Amino acid sequence: MKSFKITVITVAVLLSSFISNAQWCKPVYTNTCAFGGYGSIIRVNIGTYSRTSTCVGYDTTGVVSPTAPVTSLFQGQSYNFVATGNNGQNVQFGIWIDLNNNYSFADAGEYIGGTTTAGTTYTKSYTIPTSLAPGNYRVRFRTGTNGFGNSPAFDSSKACTTYAYGEAEDYIIKIKKSYTDNVGVSAINNPTGGACGDSNTHVKVTISNYGTNSQNVIPLYAVFNDGTNNYIFSETYSRTLAAGATDTFTFAKRLNTYAGATDRKSTRLNSS
């Protein structure tokens, strides 16, 4: 019995070590960033997130940490995933998401799209599955070419394969639960905190619909504070705001701004 117990403990320790050291595969380029970054990625967009970069071959700058994703996306909502290549050079593009966090991009549905003909940019509209559990997930963007018009297209099996030229960039995104009704003021555009010197200031806000339903009667409020008193703006947005859309709204009431004024915005309903 003692021998049996020792064997089980040894296996458990080895398994734990294997899991803790697991990592995503590293894409291979035989001419990393040659010729001024030939075929590299210069810009990535994920929804409203945008990043411009220089070639480093395999760029994990967007992977800040498992608790600090670059952007948050909502279940059931559609977002554009965009990669732009360097200096108008024709390359293939591919995008993957590790949907089950098993350190692989090869599972069914994880290759979300790519080019079949080499080009200079690629946009993929992708709907976050409603069944995808809230949490953090790794996204991979790749470009690739072997030069001289030889640019084999990516597919589900090529998240890590070898190309002569190109680049890969990984990012962490956070998936949040979607609600049917999830809308409100997401930013105060004007005035900003500390604004002063105008007795007739327009108050302008951004409204965001994070829900799955269109909305057409949205109560809005914005509050400005001078350190002692709150000045409340409350009106109704009556236009139709589609699911996932944003719009701007200007209150009819004006604000007398002055030094030291601060602002705060309404919180979204049902936000997570």
Please report the pLDDT score of residue 21 as a whole number: 52
Distance CA 259, CA 217 (A): 34
Q: Tokens representing 25? A: 């595969």
Please report the pLDDT score of residue 133 as a whole number: 95
**pLDDT per residue as tens digits for the range 80-127:** 999 999 978 899 999 999 999 999 999 999 999 999 999 999 999 999
Distance CA 22, CA 251 (A): 53
Please report the pLDDT score of residue 231 as a whole number: 81
Residues in the chain with pLDDT values less than 70: 1-22, 62, 64-67, 193-199, 226, 257-272
Q: With DSSP H G I counted as helix, E B as strand and the rest as coil, what are the percentages for the chain, rounded to 5? A: 10, 45, 45
Please report the pLDDT score of residue 193 as a whole number: 60
Please report the pLDDT score of residue 269 as a whole number: 37
Please report the pLDDT score of residue 160 as a whole number: 93
Please report the pLDDT score of residue 10 as a whole number: 37
Taking residue 14's Cβ as centre, other Cβ atoms within 10 Å add up to: 10
DSSP string of 82-150, one letter each residue: EEEEGGG--BEEEEEE-TT-SS-S-STT-EEEE-SS-BSEEEEEEEPPTTSPSEEEEEEEEEEE-STT-
Please report the pLDDT score of residue 46 as a whole number: 97
